């Protein structure tokens, strides 16, 4: 009976070292007959949740651990035996990452010794020298019976003699030796890829690696029987692997995430506080009494939220939104939050789920029991204020952003492998030019022939093959745009925290898919440029016209606004301003809000690739009849004319048409939501098409439906997400239609954003009857402002922000020094404002001195007559302009 357990397997989450994924390692372990596998990436547990998934898929038990390389050169494998030991390990890694910064883990021996309780430690020295003997003595003192010495074959002359000497050293120190495979990949075929990864890490070519290459190649996972044969001279080292596996009973599934308990009302539980806040919102929304449909939905949602204990999560989001409003930052919940009547009444979203018939179960389901996920967009320029408020409120030991695993796609893989193999740069550039940016499919053979390349060339063939293997391999961890994980206790008791590249940001080592597996809740704090524009517009509207409105106050049924949209007069508005959208608007001719929801969703890669656009347009124009083979399908697809445009519809089609369970339909939704990773829906083909055929649907209809749904693998919108974006699109269109002067000024002040340059925005405003006045040294502020005009609208005065290359600080200094006393000449600006001559020259180039009867050329002449540097104080003389014009 075999007893060997592999305890030293490195995955590709030891970035640019391991050449196999945790899933591949566990699949290979199951095939080879392993009962357990120790996963120990370097200074990281980033791949541990993938290892947990491998355990569930194969039955091979995950032994969670890590390898730490100390700053003095020692390498130690650490494995927690229980849940408290896991927390000590994650805190230890967090300490090392805080010291080392992004991508580093700096630890010393005292740090290891202080965290030793409950951890198994395996010292992995290379040579049986005096240094190893001293290190082993320290290890024994700190870890006691949980100290071991690792034996790994190196395939060098005298290797067994080296192992015997190490074994004698262990016995002399009173510790046991343990056999290790030092695995870097799951199968021998991955060895060339591992060499390429080493070359990428060392920034050299494979030909020039030399001693930087791994010094022995036998690093593939082997069967227990083979390892026992290789370590036949060390039977106790084999037995020690099984003893360690028996000792390390910690299971990652034991982690119990606890959301912060939100105490917002004294003497009330979180559920009671949420109910009270919801009722307050309902009273404000419906002063004459809550309509029955809303009352029924409120009671249903609160009951389900209470059963799943999600009230603290809703209170957190409400607190964040309330803080945003207190600071005057415009925000808008989107995505699944729009399905919730509670979110609507709390003011998290301005989408009315009753009016728009959105299902709460798409957001929170008692069957799935998945944590809710609310996305809130904030003004992108001020989002950092909210992020730092969250850190300050919850503490940096309780809050961090989730990671994003940056993986190689086709272009990056071909470029890196080509460089590592020494291919000419122009050749790799030609190859990468054959694929689109998000491709994960490699370079097709037929595309190689298009370049007249020799497809049989060994190095070119090797490059393409290795690039395909590299696709999907993690390159590094980056930070999520705004996905916060918050905890009641210390977050680094659950997962290591490391600094992000951005100042004052920190991330955990797991990404959003990992935390979904472990049922962590996430609050997304995202940025949206149009919200900054709309907040400026609302403020200008209140200041200059006395009209006080907000996003939620705008009714979405103004015929004049839809008339403007139907003419594609949408330059500068949200979402529907691109050329593709403008070409679609006259065809769809939106007449109501739901038409706008469809417009937002339909001009996307998913619907286009799924061949949904033209069938929908033909049916909308009356040139084709919608197809509903069965009544239950009509109920699902009637409002989109038989075409499944939204994720929710695809899920319902799978349930009612193909017999999917709700859980299977949710897996389909997850596959559809995987933007940038196409093909995730393909493995549902047999289940979906076969299920529909079994239920009497024609096969061609079933296959056509599957093809449409498969388009979501590129990009598929949920209906609630489209509704949230449509609300902002409508608000921006309302502002442009009724107040083009306000919209122009706000849009210019929110630049850079959108598709259009300031000159195009100005020209469009003038076409709508708005007077746009130029930059003026005596009238402009930093932002564009509104002034009294002679026509229907206020005049827009361009601000100093529109002056090319003028720094904000210099523009502010000019405005501040001007105060209520206008400047009377160029020298007066230079003397009073104290800004460099170059800043004044920028304003002259923008013809900003025209108000002083100085045209652009005369203004520049006088500015260049000033001495260099900054002047404050009495005038020292300015060179006069030329006495005549040169034509």
pLDDT at 4 over 50: yes
Strand ranges (DSSP E) for 593-741?
Answer: none
pLDDT at 291 over 70: yes
pLDDT at 840 over 80: yes
728-767 pLDDT per residue, tens: 999 999 999 999 999 999 999 998 888 899 999 999 999 9
- Of 475-489, 496-510, 854-868, least confident by mean pLDDT is 854-868
Kindly state the helix (H) or strand (E) to which residue 82 belongs, with its residue range. none
Average pLDDT of the chain, as a whole number: 87
Tell me, what's the pLDDT at 878? 44
User: Residue 719 — very low, low, confident or very high, per pLDDT cuts 50/70/90?
Assistant: confident
299-333 pLDDT per residue, tens: 988 998 888 888 898 999 999 999 999 999 999 88
242-287 pLDDT per residue, tens: 999 999 999 998 998 888 887 777 788 989 999 999 999 999 989 9
Tell me, what's the pLDDT at 610? 59
What's the token pair of residue 588?
């769809």
188-219 pLDDT per residue, tens: 999 999 999 999 999 999 999 988 888 788 89
Tell me, what's the pLDDT at 363? 65
pLDDT at 509 over 90: yes
Tell me, what's the pLDDT at 362? 63
CA distances from 159 to 129, 154, 181, 215, 736 (A): 14, 6, 14, 13, 78
Kindly state the helix (H) or strand (E) to which residue 475 belongs, with its residue range. strand 474-486
pLDDT at 539 over 70: yes
User: Which residues, 6+ apart, have CB-to-CB distance to 556 below 8 Å?
Assistant: 592, 593, 596, 727, 730
Average pLDDT over residues 123-144: 92
Place of tokens 């002067």: 741
Separation CA 354–CA 294 (nearest Å): 7
Tell me, what's the pLDDT at 720? 80
783-806 pLDDT per residue, tens: 999 998 778 899 999 999 999 989
Tell me, what's the pLDDT at 307? 87
User: Residue 671 — very low, low, confident or very high, per pLDDT cuts 50/70/90?
Assistant: low
User: Which residues, 6+ apart, have CB-to-CB distance to 417 below 8 Å?
Assistant: 196, 463, 466, 467, 470
User: Residue 622 — very low, low, confident or very high, per pLDDT cuts 50/70/90?
Assistant: confident
559-609 pLDDT per residue, tens: 999 999 999 999 999 989 988 899 999 999 999 999 999 998 888 765 666
Separation CA 711–CA 652 (nearest Å): 16
330-371 pLDDT per residue, tens: 998 876 766 788 988 998 888 888 887 777 766 666 566 667
Tell me, what's the pLDDT at 871? 53
Average pLDDT over residues 461-486: 90
Choose among 97, 93, 134: nearest CA to 115. Answer: 93
Q: Are 496 and 510 in contact (CB under 8 A)?
A: no
Kindly state the helix (H) or strand (E) to which residue 775 belongs, with its residue range. none
64-112 pLDDT per residue, tens: 999 999 999 999 999 999 999 999 999 999 999 999 988 899 999 999 9
- The full length of the chain comes to 887
Other CB atoms within a 10 A radius of the CB of residue 548 amount to 11
Separation CA 693–CA 865 (nearest Å): 84
User: Which residues, 6+ apart, have CB-to-CB distance to 596 below 8 Å?
Assistant: 556, 565, 576, 590, 726, 729, 730
CA distances from 824 to 256, 551, 839, 874, 875 (A): 70, 43, 17, 14, 13
Tell me, what's the pLDDT at 636? 83
Angle between helix axes 613-620 and 579-588 (nearest 10 degrees) is 30
Tell me, what's the pLDDT at 739? 95
User: Residue 887 — very low, low, confident or very high, per pLDDT cuts 50/70/90?
Assistant: very low
Largest CA distance in the chain: 105
Q: Are 581 and 601 in contact (CB under 8 A)?
A: no
Choose among 246, 204, 202, 250: nearest CA to 90. Answer: 250
User: Which residues, 6+ apart, have CB-to-CB distance to 99 below 8 Å?
Assistant: 106, 107
List, edge to edge, every strand of the sheet that includes 772-773. Answer: 772-773, 795-797, 785-787
Answer positive or negative: Cα dihedral of 288, 293, 294, 300: positive
442-461 pLDDT per residue, tens: 777 777 877 778 878 888 88
pLDDT at 872 over 60: no
């Amino acid at each position: 009976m075999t007893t060997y357990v592999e305890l030293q397997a490195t995955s590709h989450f030891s970035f640019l070292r391991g050449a196999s994924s945790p899933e591949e390692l566990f699949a290979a372990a199951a095939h080879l007959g392993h009962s357990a596998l120790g996963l120990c990436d370097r200074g990281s547990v980033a791949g541990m949740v993938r290892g947990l998934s491998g355990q569930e898929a194969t039955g091979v038990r995950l032994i969670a651990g890590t390898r730490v390389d100390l700053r003095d050169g020692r390498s130690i494998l650490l494995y927690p035996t229980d849940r408290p030991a896991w927390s000590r390990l994650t805190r230890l890694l967090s300490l090392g990452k805080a010291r080392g910064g992004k991508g580093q883990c700096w630890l010393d021996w005292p740090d290891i010794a202080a965290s030793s309780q409950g951890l198994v430690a395996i010292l992995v020295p290379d040579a049986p020298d005096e240094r190893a003997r001293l290190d082993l003595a320290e290890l024994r003192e700190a870890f006691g019976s949980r100290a071991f010495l690792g034996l790994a074959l190196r395939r060098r002359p005298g290797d067994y003699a080296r192992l015997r000497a190490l074994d004698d050293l262990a016995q002399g120190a009173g510790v046991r030796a343990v056999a290790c495979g030092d695995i870097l990949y799951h199968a021998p075929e991955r060895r060339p890829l591992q060499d390429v990864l080493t070359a990428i890490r060392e920034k050299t070519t494979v030909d020039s690696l030399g001693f930087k290459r791994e010094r022995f190649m036998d690093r593939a996972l082997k069967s227990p029987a083979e390892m026992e044969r290789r370590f036949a001279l060390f039977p106790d080292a084999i037995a020690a692997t099984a003893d360690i596996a028996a000792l390390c009973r910690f299971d990652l599934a034991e982690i119990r995430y606890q959301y912060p308990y939100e105490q917002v009302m004294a003497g009330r539980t979180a559920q009671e506080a949420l109910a009270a806040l919801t009722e307050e919102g309902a009273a404000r929304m419906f002063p004459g009494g809550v309509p029955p449909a809303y009352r029924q939905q409120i009671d249903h949602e609160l009951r389900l939220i209470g059963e799943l204990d999600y009230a603290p999560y809703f209170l957190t989001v409400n607190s964040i939104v309330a803080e945003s409003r207190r600071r005057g930052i415009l925000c808008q919940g989107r995505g699944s939050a729009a399905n919730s009547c509670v979110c609507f009444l709390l003011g998290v979203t301005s989408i009315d789920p009753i009016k728009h018939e959105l299902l709460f179960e798409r957001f929170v389901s008692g069957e799935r029991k998945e944590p809710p996920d609310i996305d809130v967009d904030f003004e992108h320029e001020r989002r950092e204020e909210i992020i730092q408020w969250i850190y300050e409120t919850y503490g940096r030991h309780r809050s961090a952003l989730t990671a994003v695993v940056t993986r190689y796609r086709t272009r990056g893989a071909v470029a890196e492998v080509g460089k590592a193999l020494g291919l000419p740069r122009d050749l790799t550039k030609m190859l990468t030019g054959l694929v689109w940016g998000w491709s994960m499919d490699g370079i097709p053979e037929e595309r190689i022939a298009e370049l007249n390349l020799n497809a049989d060339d060994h190095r070119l063939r090797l490059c393409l093959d290795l690039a395909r293997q590299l696709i999907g391999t993690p390159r590094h961890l980056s930070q999520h745009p705004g996905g916060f994980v918050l905890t009641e206790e210390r977050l680094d008791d659950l997962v290591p925290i490391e600094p992000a590249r951005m100042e004052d940001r920190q991330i955990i080592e797991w990404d959003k898919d990992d935390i979904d597996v472990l049922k962590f809740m996430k609050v997304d704090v995202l940025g949206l440029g149009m919200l900054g524009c709309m907040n400026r517009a609302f403020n200008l509207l209140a200041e200059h016209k006395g009209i006080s409105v907000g996003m939620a106050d705008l009714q979405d049924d103004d015929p004049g606004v839809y008339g403007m949209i139907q003419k594609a007069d949408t330059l500068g508005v949200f979402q529907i301003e691109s050329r593709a959208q403008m070409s679609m608007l006259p065809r769809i001719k939106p007449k109501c809000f739901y038409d706008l929801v469809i417009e937002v969703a339909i001009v996307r890669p998913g619907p286009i690739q799924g061949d949904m656009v033209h069938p929908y347009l033909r049916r909308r124009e009356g040139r084709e009849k919608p197809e509903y083979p069965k009544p239950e399908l009509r109920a699902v697809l009637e409002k989109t004319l038989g075409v499944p445009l939204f994720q929710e519809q695809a899920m319902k089609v799978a349930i009612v048409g193909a017999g999917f369970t709700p859980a299977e339909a949710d897996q389909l939704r997850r596959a559809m939501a995987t933007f940038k990773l196409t093909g995730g829906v393909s493995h549902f083909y047999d289940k979906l098409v076969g299920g529909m055929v079994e239920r009497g649907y024609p096969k061609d209809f079933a296959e056509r439906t599957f093809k449409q749904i498969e388009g979501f693998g590129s990009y598929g919108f949920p209906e609630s997400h489209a509704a949230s974006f449509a609300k902002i699109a409508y608000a921006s269109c309302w502002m442009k239609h009724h107040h083009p002067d306000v919209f122009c000024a706000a849009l210019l002040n929110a630049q850079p954003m959108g598709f259009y340059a300031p000159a195009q925005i100005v020209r469009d405003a003038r076409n709508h009857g708005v007077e746009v006045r130029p930059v003026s040294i005596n009238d402009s502020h930093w932002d564009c402002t509104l002034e009294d005009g002679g026509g229907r609208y206020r005049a827009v005065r361009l601000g100093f922000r529109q002056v090319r290359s003028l720094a904000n600080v210099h523009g502010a200094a000019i405005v501040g020094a001007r105060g209520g006393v206008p400047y009377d000449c160029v020298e007066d600006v230079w003397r009073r404002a104290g800004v460099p001559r170059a800043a004044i020259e920028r304003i002259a180039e923008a013809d900003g001195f025209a108000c002083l009867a100085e045209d652009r050329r005369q203004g520049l002449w006088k500015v260049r007559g000033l001495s260099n540097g900054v002047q404050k104080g009495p005038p020292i003389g300015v060179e006069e302009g030329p006495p005549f014009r040169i034509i």
